[in-house]
Structure 1
Amino acid sequence: MVDIATRVWNHKWKIDPIVRSLIDTDFYKLLMCQSIFRNHPETTVTFSLINRTKSVPLAKLIDEGELREQLDHIRSLSLRRGESTWMRGNTFYGKRQMFTPEFMDWFENLRLPAYELERRGDQYELTFEGPWPEVMLWEIPALAVLMELRGRAVLREMRRFELQVLYARAMTKLWEKIERLRVLEGLRIADFGTRRRHSFLWQDWAVQAMTEGLGEAFIGTSNCLIAKNRDLEAIGTNAHELPMVYAALAETDAALARAPYDVLADWHEEHEGNLRIILPDTYGTDGFLENAPDWLAGWTGIRIDSGDPYDGAETAIRWWEDRGEDPRQKLVIFSDGLDAEKIIDLHTRFSGRTRVSFGWGTLLTNDFRGLAPDDALAPFSLVCKAVAANGRPTVKLSDNPRKAMGPKDEIARYKRVFDVGAQEAVEVVV
């Protein structure tokens, strides 16, 4: 096991590139990439970094030269032989050869495309533009780089014993959470914390702690490199990116209304079982479920990623019941703003009524709240989203208006098309 504090002190992270592999990314990104490679290889998409927490001045904390060095390193990466063998030969979600030979041939020759970086006041403007299958793979590593460089800026000011105590306290904090969770009967939980992790080494430590502390209740990690190295299940399905881009490509309001279902129709052709998970909140969960085609009720489950998770799960249960499905056989995955207390409460409320699972993100892999002076290592809300497709702006409404994004006139249009009424604003934790 790596002594993280000593590594930080001795080398100031110089021997540790932040992103060390093309598969140091979330599994859902690779699944979506293959679907996009098959269905929309020529679509041009623009991704952009968005710091929702304006109080964190990234451009003041992070040296531009150091940021460029890390981004340029990512552009030098290519798929290694062992990584290719793992993707081609491993069983994912019970299926061998999840990734087609055509996709793997393309992926093995991929280098990530160029980026554009400018300083705007106290923030950085970081954008990526190009073919959708290539550009989309920047999202996770770009977030990991910015999150970790901010952490390194703080750690650089600490002395050796300060670092030892910091990591000892962080380890104790996480282990105490694990001890609270391990008593839950039937718990199913995965690591979803790559995008806003403290560091790669810390995420790897957290995964090892979860593996030892929770045993079979820990079902895997979204991080492909860690899954490969630790012989764990790679976990993930699909994300908001798909309906956002499909919707932006729609020529008419009618096509726009169909876009979220067109996404899942394409997904239905490629995947089955536990990969058939609905993410309904991109343009409002209530409207999505009300207008959903009957065949979607037969899917395995739903992921709840915004809004009130209790309301979201109750809505899903009622929807399945109205469609003649047994909610006890369905899977509800909670993945928004989770920490131990909320996990315990949701598990207690919904176990037995449905199959409950958790994708634990930032507060698993980056909970240094209260451990550094001025709380300088507290996680913050940073995203990298598709903002345009073939020159048209994308829109996300979410079940939480504080997560909405897009031009105001387009947001208004989408709310009209998807019949989104008043929404309750919920604090965005991370």
Structure 2
Amino acid sequence: MVDIATRVWNHKWKIDPIVRSMIDTDFYKLLMCQSVFRNKPDANVTFSLINRTKQIRLAEQIDEGELREHLDYVRSLSLTRGESTWLRGNTFYGKRQMFRPDFMEWFEQMRLPDYNLEKRDGQYELTFEGKWPEVMLWEIPALTILMELRGRAVLNRMEKFELQVLYARATTKLWEKVERLREVPELRIADFGTRRRHSFLWQDWCNQALIEGLGESFIGTSNCLIAMRREVEAIGTNAHELPMVYAALAENDAELARAPYRVLEDWQEEHEGNLRIILPDTYGTDEFLARAPDWLAGWTGIRIDSGDPVAGAEAAIAWWKARGEDPTKKLVIFSDGLDVDDILALHDRFHGRVRASFGWGTLLTNDFRGLVPNDALRPFSLVCKAVSAGGRPTVKLSDNPNKSMGPAAEIERYKRVFSVGEKTPIDVMV
């Protein structure tokens, strides 16, 4: 097992690039990329870094030259032969050849496009513009690079034994969480922590801890490289990016209202079973379900990713019952800022009522809260979102208004088109 503290001390990270591979990314990005490659290959989209935690001034903590070095390194990466063989031949979600030959031929030749980087008011403005299938693959590398460089800025000020103690405390903290979860019956947990992880080595260690500590309750990881190396399931479905871009590309209000369902029409042409998971909160969960066509009730489940998770799951249960579906056969994936207390409470409430599953993210792979002075390694909320498509701004109307985004005029238009009412703000940590 890697001695992370010694690795940090001896090499000051030079031996460890932050992003190690084209598949050091989340599985859902590749699934969505294939869908976009098929359905919207020529759409022009812009992604942008958004730091929701404004008090953390990244441009004052992270050296611009070092940031560019890591961004440029990612642009040099391409699929290795072994990675290509894994993607082409492995079974994902019970399906062989999940990735079509035409997509794989393109992906094997693809290199990430250029980026735009500027400093403004203590923050980095990092944007990616181009064809949607290419620029969308910047999201996860960009986030992991910024998150880890911020962590390295803190670690580089620490001495050898300080680092040993830090990682001893962090491993103990994680293992105590595992011990609380390991006895829970019929628990299903996946690692969703790539985008805001402490580091690749730490995420890999966390996965090894869950493999040993949780056994069959650990169902896999969103990180493709770790899934391949550790021989566990690659986990992930789809994200808000799809309906946000489809909506921005809509030519009128009628097309806009249909856009979230058009996304899922395209999705079901390629996927079935546990990949048919609805993400309903891009323009309000209640509003989405009220307008949803009946065929969507036959899908496998729903992912709850913002707002009150109890309210979201209860709304899904009521919706299924109203359409003659049995909720006990449906999968509900909770994935919004979870930690052990949340997982235990939600499992206790919904066990037996639905097939509950948990995507454990930042507070699995980056929980160094309280372990260094001034809480300097505390995780924060950093995202990389599609901000425009086809020359029009994107909009997100989350169940949590603190996660919403878009120009004020477009937000009002979207609220009118989707009949979105008032939502209750919830503090966002990650």
TM-score class, shorter = over 0.9
- 1:422 to partner: Cα distance: 1.0
1:232 counterpart residue number: 232
Amino acid at match of 2:256: L
Alignment of 1:17-56 (within 5 A): 17-56=17-56
Amino acid at match of 2:416: R
1:156 counterpart residue number: 156
Amino acid at match of 1:189: I
1:259 counterpart residue number: 259
CA distance in 2, matches of 1:429, 1:69: 28
Amino acid at match of 2:91: T
2:330 counterpart residue number: 330
Between the two proteins, the alignment pairs up a number of residues equal to: 430
- 1:327 to partner: Cα distance: 0.1
* SS of the residue 1:270 aligns to: coil
Amino acid at match of 2:93: Y
2:396 counterpart residue number: 396
Describe the superposition over 1:181-210 as per-residue Cα deviations: whole angstroms up to 9, x where unpaired.
111100000000000000000000000000
1:94 counterpart residue number: 94
CA distance in 1, matches of 2:350, 2:84: 39
Amino acid at match of 1:327: P
Aligned-residue CA RMSD (Å): 0.4
User: Is it true that 1:377 corresponds to 2:377 in the alignment?
Assistant: yes
CA distance in 1, matches of 2:121, 2:424: 32
1:207 counterpart residue number: 207
2:117 counterpart residue number: 117
* SS of the residue 1:332 aligns to: strand
For structure 1, the 5+ residue unaligned runs are none
Amino acid at match of 1:352: G
Amino acid at match of 1:421: G
Describe the superposition over 1:338-383 as per-residue Cα deviations: whole angstroms up to 9, x where unpaired.
0000100000000000000000000000000000110000000000
- 1:121 to partner: Cα distance: 2.1
1:419 counterpart residue number: 419
CA distance in 1, matches of 2:393, 2:119: 23
User: Is it true that 1:339 corresponds to 2:323 in the alignment?
Assistant: no
CA distance in 2, matches of 1:422, 1:390: 29
2:75 counterpart residue number: 75
CA distance in 2, matches of 1:396, 1:422: 14
CA distance in 2, matches of 1:47, 1:379: 22
- 1:237 to partner: Cα distance: 0.2
For structure 2, the 5+ residue unaligned runs are none
CA distance in 1, matches of 2:401, 2:387: 17
**Aligned residues with identical type, % of pairs:** 79
- 1:115 to partner: Cα distance: 0.2
- 1:131 to partner: Cα distance: 0.3
User: Is it true that 1:131 corresponds to 2:110 in the alignment?
Assistant: no
Amino acid at match of 2:393: P
User: Which runs of 4 or more aligned residues in structure 1 lie more than 3 Å from their structure 2 counterparts after TM superposition?
Assistant: none
CA distance in 1, matches of 2:396, 2:183: 38
* SS of the residue 1:303 aligns to: strand
* SS of the residue 1:212 aligns to: helix
Describe the superposition over 1:92-142 as per-residue Cα deviations: whole angstroms up to 9, x where unpaired.
000000000000000000000000000112100000000000000000000
CA distance in 1, matches of 2:23, 2:359: 19
Describe the superposition over 1:135-166 as per-residue Cα deviations: whole angstroms up to 9, x where unpaired.
00000000000000000000000000000000
1:58 counterpart residue number: 58
CA distance in 2, matches of 1:54, 1:423: 22
Amino acid at match of 2:383: V
Alignment of 1:235-254 (within 5 A): 235-254=235-254
Q: TM-score, normalised by structure 2?
A: 1.00
CA distance in 1, matches of 2:418, 2:345: 32
* SS of the residue 2:269 aligns to: helix
1:179 counterpart residue number: 179
